[in-house]
Chain A
């Protein structure tokens, strides 16, 4: 069964036709990179997958998105339940003004888990999975705001992992970080794909080619090309794709 299966997706911000007939399938434990110039619809598409676009007034969608076979836009779907399955890491690190521990425990607590031992175990395990443990193990009760930007972003990843999602969406997760922090996030993505299906929006071509198995190129709301990353970057079918990845525009 496909982990993500988007069929004939059209999306509108009021009158603006932001996504045009997108069809995209993702298999389990793959990393898919979405690339394309600003305003091409890649972030909009990403935010469709955990229904983050619901928060914006005046939007409309047609078509269907299946996550593990379940139509997430079907009537009666609970959005908060969906978002436990489909986690998200944002462009700007956005830890809560709480301790490091409580940041990671937050997702568990709001989902009704109160078993102290379980929470503690899961928090530690998630911080370890996010490759942050060695840096924060002595200061779990300190404010998350005291961490560096790169550490904060890994904390946000840990926070997402804690609720055991099946899919992790990343919206330019390293664009606000320095090169060393970026490298750490990329390594982390490589590790995480063993357990999760990952979709990442990025403006960084090298990053897309380093971390992803497949790449989708978006332009003006259309998905121009979707193929194995190696093919997209070495032998793209479309001229538009080639122009973009070689930096001729965008």
Chain B
């Protein structure tokens, strides 16, 4: 009896400690970045271009570039991903094509991001002739997030009980009407969460934009989708490894990391707020 209780207590303590460890790690990372980076954060840092070999000035072009890439990749991956997710869950649940797509999607999400970068360079930059551009970078990032969008959509739709579909079909609704008016609205809170989280992923990626869009130093904003841009993760990489004066740009690097982490944090908070909002709305109307 005694030993049973002791092993129970040990197991419980172990589980508890491990889960606390996760929090400690996160707090350490955040605390480290914030304490080092917060000093350089001011209005100029957020709104000015880098100066003097990127040791002074701000990171505004990189912030703007990251936002353009988020929007561009979303325009590409959301429609394709959502529609194929719908196809796979609603139309082709049990056929060979769907399971083939599913396997391919899983494989795609296992491809290292630097390989996406290389592929993006070969296809979009060179073969299709987009050059190093927002377009090429957005398409590459879109490819990267596509498996996530498909998977999210499929899982969200799968969570909707079949009885709702049957209820709608039994009233003479077509399959498309059922998807539009019943299934999608119910799945929407979960889908939107997944979409926003995929944005978080995209905004932090460095490798895919390395060869396709990111500019080393470009203090002006882009004029078209065929221009290069700076982007936060790549900027962070540049000023941490190959700036003109790495030591004096160190503070800038932590500031950049702070901004990048803040953006992703805000995106995640936004995801849960929107999720709750839509979950309530779906119930009410």
Contact = CB atoms under 8 A, between A and B. Distances in A.
B169 to A, nearest CB: 7
A121 interface: no
Interface in B39-80: none
A97 B182 CA distance: 8
Contact of A84 (B163, B164, B172): B172
Contacts of A55: 165-166, 169
Contacts of A90: 163, 166-167, 170
Contact of A83 (B93, B165, B169): B169
Contacts of A84: 171-172
Interface stretch (A18-26, A67-75, A102-110): A102-110
Nearest to A159: B171
B187 to A, nearest CB: 11
A84 B166 CA distance: 13
Contact of B171 (A57, A97, A102, A106): A106
B173 to A, nearest CB: 4
A52 B283 contact: no
B282 interface: yes
B185 interface: yes
Interface residues of B, number: 24
A111 interface: yes
B168 A156 contact: no
Contact of A110 (B163, B164, B174): B174
A95 B166 CA distance: 11
Nearest to A86: B170
B68 to A, nearest CB: 36
A98 interface: yes
B177 interface: yes
Contact of A145 (B167, B174, B185, B283): B283
Given A80-B173, A80-B174, A110 B168 contact: yes
Contacts of B166: 52, 55, 88, 90, 94
Interface in B161-194: 161, 163-174, 177, 181-182, 185-186
Given A80-B172, A110-B172, A143-B283, A156 B167 contact: yes
A245 interface: no
A55 B285 CA distance: 28
Nearest to B165: A55
A10 B93 CA distance: 26
B283 A50 contact: no
Interface of A: 50, 52, 55, 57, 80-81, 83-84, 87-88, 90, 92, 94-99, 102, 106-107, 110-111, 143, 145, 156, 159-160, 163
17 contacts: A50-B170, A52-B170, A55-B169, A57-B93, A57-B94, A80-B172, A81-B172, A83-B169, A83-B170, A94-B161, A94-B167, A97-B186, A106-B181, A107-B172, A111-B173, A156-B167, A163-B172
